[in-house]
Amino acid sequence: MTYFNIKVQFTVEDSKGKIKKQNVNYLVDSQSCMDAETKITEFLIKEGETGFEVKSISESKIVGVL
């Protein structure tokens, strides 16, 4: 198994109506960097997210999740 750290930037509106950028990290089990990006994009669209951008993807040093 290979895990990838994916940093996604969301555009959100705060309670005062100001637009802000918010970064969120995801850990994705995937075969490749490209596959990880596809998985996170499909997941976020399925969750109804629209204002996001994948900012970075890097292979994780995590070897397993229990």
pTM for this one? 0.87
Count the alpha carbons within 13 Å of 42 in the hemisphere toward its beta carbon: 7
Pick the CATH number of 3-59 from 3.10.20, 3.40.50, 3.30.420, 3.30.70: 3.10.20
Query: How is the chain split into domains, by residue range?
Result: 3-59
Residue corresponding to tokens 């895990």: 3
CA 8 → CA 38, 48, 50, 63, distances in Å? 13, 15, 12, 22
Res 1 pLDDT > 90: no
Model pLDDT for residues 32-65, shown as the tens digit of each residue? 999 999 999 999 999 999 899 999 999 999 998 8
